[in-house]
Structure 1
Amino acid sequence: MEVIVPFSTDRPKSRLSDALSPDERAGFARAMLDDVLDAVSAAGGEPRVLATDPVDVDRPVTVDDRPLTDAVNAALDARLGHDDETGPDEAPEPVAVVMADLALATPAALGRLFAAGREADVAVVPGRGGGTNAFVASHPDFRVDYHGASYLDHREIAAEIGAAFAAVDSQRLGTDVDEPVDLAEVLIHGEGRSAAWLREAGFALDASEGRVTVVRE
């Protein structure tokens, strides 16, 4: 299964600016991207980075500097739209989209998503706050809208086009790293480059006041 991994090189992870400098945010974003790509490959997926600028990775890269919704929909158009080799009654191969800031992603969690996407026309992992962290789609008319509570929008879009929909509940895939408070989740549950990057940068967990917080040594 092809897995598209959107990645922005333009001021990455700006909401972490209270905790990380611009160069550090770029380095941490790249560590998370590498973790996601490794997890996708280990789950049997074929990752392709969808980046706003060229990225030096050992996987295929498509450059598209349009906003996220437009870039992902263009990718879906190319993969789910009918072509000369796919008849009108023939379902296209499923394609997945997995965000690049899912630092807790594991092959097992992604495998569950891929399996759900083979059973349903659209399978979505909701993020905290109602976003869409990952999905698999095979319905030729499914397109995305990442504005606002996009999980609800995508569920409604699936209903409008008559697509069988599945919600995939996953703590690991449902945790995207956007805010400084999210760094604790990476230090607690992370197993790859992202957690190692934070520790090397001096971040640690502190439970001295009865609750877990992130401190920088």
Structure 2
Amino acid sequence: MEVIVPFSTDRPKSRLSGVLSPDERGEFARAMLDDVLDAVAAAGGEPRVLATDAVNVDPPVTVDDRPLTDAVNAALDARIGVDPEDDAGEGDAGTDGSQEPVAVVMADLALATPAALDRLFAAGRDADVAMAPGRGGGTNAFVASHPEFRVDYHGASYLDHREIAAEIGAEFVAVDSRRLGTDVDEPADLAEVLIHGEGRAATWLREAGFALDASEGRVAAVRK
């Protein structure tokens, strides 16, 4: 299964500006991207980075500097969209005539594991759309095979995507996963990486001097 991993090279992780410098945010974002790519590959996926500019990684890279919604929809059009010249009315179909699903997994899922992604991929092979919602109602990862499914990443996009699936008659299933539901955007999210992370992102934070602190009654990531 092809797995598209969107990645912004332009001012990455701006909401971490209170705790990380611009260069550090770039390094940390890259560490998370590498963790996600490793997890995707270990789960049997074929990752392709969808970046706003060139990025040096092993998997193939498609550069598209448009906003996230436009860039992902263009990728979906190319892979599962209906080809007007296709008499069968199908996009990129498999050898048995069924639609080949494509996944989209965000690059800041620092807690993603092969097991969590395998659950998502398996659900996406059975349903037209399988989606892992984020904690705040966003869309962190999904698999789609319905040729009419398209994304809209504004606001509580998970609810919007569930409605879009219903409008086009696509079978929709939610995949409840803490590891896929935790995207790293805010300083408070760094504690989750230190507690549960097992890859480059957690190592980067520790080497940058971050540690867990519970002195104020809650666990937080504090730079020593």
Q: TM over 0.5: same fold?
A: yes
The Cα offsets for residues 62-119 of structure 1, whole Å up to 9 and x where unpaired, read as 0000000000000000000234678336442000000000000000000000000001
Name the structure 1 match of 2:28: 28
Name the structure 2 match of 1:173: 180
- In structure 2, what residue type is equivalent to 1:3? V
- Of 156, 171, 184 in structure 2, the residue corresponding to residue 149 of structure 1 is 156
- In structure 1, what residue type is equivalent to 2:113? T
TM-score, structure 2 as length reference: 0.94
The Cα offsets for residues 170-211 of structure 1, whole Å up to 9 and x where unpaired, read as 000000000000000000000000000000000000123442
Note the residue ranges of structure 1 that are not aligned, 5 or more in a row: none
SS in structure 2 of the partner of residue 3 of structure 1: strand
- Of 125, 134, 143 in structure 2, the residue corresponding to residue 118 of structure 1 is 125
SS in structure 2 of the partner of residue 173 of structure 1: helix
- Of 185, 189, 198 in structure 1, the residue corresponding to residue 196 of structure 2 is 189
User: What is the rounded CA distance, in whole Å, between the counterparts of 1:92 and 1:102 in structure 2?
Assistant: 27
Name the structure 2 match of 1:47: 47
Name the structure 2 match of 1:129: 136
* Alpha-carbon spacing, 1:31–1:39, altered in 2? closer, same or farther (3 Å): same
Report the identity percentage.
85
SS in structure 1 of the partner of residue 218 of structure 2: coil
User: What is the rounded CA distance, in whole Å, between the counterparts of 1:213 and 1:128 in structure 2?
Assistant: 18
- In structure 2, what residue type is equivalent to 1:131? G
- Contact 1:91/1:139, CA 8 A, preserved across alignment: no
- Contact 2:129/2:142, CA 8 A, preserved across alignment: yes
- In structure 1, what residue type is equivalent to 2:24? E
- In structure 1, what residue type is equivalent to 2:189? D
Q: List 4+ stretches of structure 1 deviating above 3 A.
A: 82-86
SS in structure 2 of the partner of residue 15 of structure 1: helix
Count of aligned residue pairs for this structure pair: 217
TM-score, structure 1 as length reference: 0.97
